[in-house]
Amino acid sequence: MNGFAVVDPLDIIADERADEILAESLPSFAGIDASELHSFVDQDIDWLVDFIFSADQPTVFGAQSKATKTTQLADLAVALTSKTDWLGEFKVSKRRRVLFITGESNYRGASKRISRALKARELEFADVSQWLLVEPVEFPRLPNLEDRMGIAADVAKHRIEVVIIDPLYRGLMGVDANRLADMGGAIVEFAKACQPASLIISHHTTKASARELGPPSLEDLSGAGLAESAGNWWLIGRNEPYKFDQQHDLCVLFGGRDEQSGIRRIKFDEKQWTFNVTSGQDLKDQREQEKQEKQQQKQEEQLRYARAQVTHCLTNQKQYQPKSWIETRSKATRDSTRQALAELLDTGDVIEGEYKDSRNRPQQGFGLRELGCSPCSRMLANNENGEPVDCCDDVRRSPL
């Protein structure tokens, strides 16, 4: 025996064939050759609503409470199934079968919205029969496999082309809304179950952003994964607080992965079901200016507080103090304290001077101006408004 194993050539062939079979059974992520991409550059976009929502991307409606997202979705469902303009403004070029699942209503509430949207177009329920299905009671659980299979069966049976889910949170039972993987995964898997139908979902914004007027951003959507999942987005905010009079002054920010974007102001009379849509850029600029002014005012207030804190810390100090000592004792933020100290140095209310540390070494520190004013032994005082008063002004006006 020479110690070498004898390998049967047939075994080698069998092993290679097994590897081929295994490779064929595995999913591939190799994509296509770059030379084939040119055919997609000028590919026509299938628009649900022209230049607003593309059909092959998931769409997210985001809005604060009482911002008419369910009402706008009802109007969208009627527009898609009747091939009429959405909100009286945006063109729908192709009629589609729609499944509208709205979980914050009932049959009576859903019928009223759909009826008003039809009447505004001089249509009746019969005009969208076999095109629009409405489910206001049962709601699918996005992470549940049986529910996803049920949606897939409904889409196939009724030849559904658009599935509208309103609102998303109703279908997130058992999902950690703060985990990107959980939220994103649930939405992606549900979107796959709806294929070849398009998916439109509505979701609320955070409570903090809801307190602000103007349109929200994708980052204002509550929970993780929504911004990342959105291929089209329609984000609705209010221009004024709702007065519960069925009159809505709204501002909408929209966009998508097909490079569509814009901002619109929508005045909606819910009683008459009429929409007045105009450009919202001027309103957006106004909101941005108000936001900047508010932020600047807040910064100025913080700085005034920091100046008062620096002055308070140095009042009655008999020697100059290091910057770290002031920052530790100031109740303002460190950045505000540093900025306040710099401003007080510029105005001369605070001066630099030398002091001895615990090891009797000379160091450079800060103190109120009185520490360097030999004719004045008094400290800086405050007037009745809490504003600094320079007592040295009286000394300079008096003869020494």
What pLDDT, in 10s, does the model give residues 92-123?
A: 999 999 999 998 778 999 999 999 999 999 99
Which amino acid does the sequence have at 6?
Answer: V
The residue that leads in pLDDT, 62 or 378, is: 62
- Token readout for 356 is 């001895």
> If you average pLDDT over residues 142-171, what whole number do you get?
95
Separation between Cα atoms, residue 163 and residue 199, nearest integer Å: 5
For residue 79, the 8-state DSSP code is: H
Q: How confident is the model at residue 254 (pLDDT cuts 50, 70, 90)?
A: very high
Q: Identify whether the C-beta of residue 199 lies closer than 8 Å to the C-beta of residue 61.
A: no
> What three-state secondary structure class fits 105?
coil
pLDDT for 33 equals: 87
Last residue of a domain, one of 218, 244, 279: 279
- Based on the domain organization, do 238 and 326 belong to the same domain? no
The C-alpha angle with vertex 293 and arms to 289 and 295, in degrees rounded to 5, equals: 115
- Based on the domain organization, do 307 and 261 belong to the same domain? no
The C-alpha angle with vertex 148 and arms to 98 and 173, in degrees rounded to 5, equals: 105
Residues linked to residue 202 through DSSP beta bridges, in sequence order: 61
Separation between Cα atoms, residue 52 and residue 48, nearest integer Å: 8
6 located within any domain: no
Q: What is the CATH number of the domain that holds 55?
A: 3.40.50.300
Q: pLDDT digits over 52-89, tens only?
A: 999 999 999 999 888 999 999 999 999 999 999 999 99
Q: At what angle do helices 107-119 and 69-82 cross, to 10 degrees?
A: 60
- Based on the domain organization, do 196 and 325 belong to the same domain? no
Residues linked to residue 365 through DSSP beta bridges, in sequence order: 353
pLDDT for 394 equals: 39
Q: Identify whether the C-beta of residue 310 lies closer than 8 Å to the C-beta of residue 368.
A: no
Q: How confident is the model at residue 374 (pLDDT cuts 50, 70, 90)?
A: very low
231 located within any domain: yes
Q: What is the CATH number of the domain that holds 337?
A: 1.10.10
The C-alpha angle with vertex 221 and arms to 215 and 223, in degrees rounded to 5, equals: 170
Separation between Cα atoms, residue 369 and residue 352, nearest integer Å: 9
Q: pLDDT digits over 259-302, tens only?
A: 999 999 999 999 999 999 998 887 777 778 888 899 999 999 99
- Based on the domain organization, do 318 and 266 belong to the same domain? no
Tell me how long the chain is.
400
pLDDT for 191 equals: 94
Structural domains counted in the chain: 2
pLDDT at 177 over 50: yes
- Based on the domain organization, do 209 and 328 belong to the same domain? no
Q: Identify whether the C-beta of residue 31 lies closer than 8 Å to the C-beta of residue 24.
A: no
Separation between Cα atoms, residue 384 and residue 244, nearest integer Å: 45
- Token readout for 287 is 């909101």
pLDDT at 5 over 80: no
352 located within any domain: yes
pLDDT for 18 equals: 65
> If you average pLDDT over residues 319-339, what whole number do you get?
93
- Based on the domain organization, do 240 and 346 belong to the same domain? no
- Token readout for 99 is 């499944």
- Host domain of residue 344: 299-397
**Phi and psi (nearest 5°) for 48?**
-70, -50
pLDDT for 14 equals: 60
pLDDT for 393 equals: 42
Percentage of the chain with pLDDT > 70? Answer: 87
- Based on the domain organization, do 249 and 332 belong to the same domain? no
pLDDT at 255 over 80: yes
39 located within any domain: no
* Burial zone of 157 (CB within 10 Å; 0-12 exposed, 13-18 middle, 19+ buried): exposed
- Based on the domain organization, do 182 and 254 belong to the same domain? yes
pLDDT for 390 equals: 46
Q: pLDDT digits over 180-226, tens only?
A: 778 888 898 999 999 999 999 999 988 888 788 888 999 999 887 78
pLDDT at 397 over 80: no
- Based on the domain organization, do 257 and 340 belong to the same domain? no
Q: Identify whether the C-beta of residue 338 lies closer than 8 Å to the C-beta of residue 315.
A: no
The residue that leads in pLDDT, 228 or 251, is: 251
When mean pLDDT is compared across 9-23, 128-142, 356-370, the lowest value belongs to: 9-23
Last residue of a domain, one of 248, 279, 310: 279
- Based on the domain organization, do 200 and 243 belong to the same domain? yes
235 located within any domain: yes
Q: How far is CA 349 from CA 57, 162, 211, 281, 332, in A?
A: 61, 68, 40, 45, 18
55 located within any domain: yes
pLDDT for 185 equals: 85
Separation between Cα atoms, residue 62 and residue 251, nearest integer Å: 12
pLDDT for 215 equals: 86
Q: What stretch of H or E contains 162?
A: strand 162-166
- Based on the domain organization, do 272 and 304 belong to the same domain? no
- Based on the domain organization, do 199 and 341 belong to the same domain? no
214 located within any domain: yes
Last residue of a domain, one of 221, 251, 279: 279
349 located within any domain: yes
Q: Identify whether the C-beta of residue 128 lies closer than 8 Å to the C-beta of residue 78.
A: yes
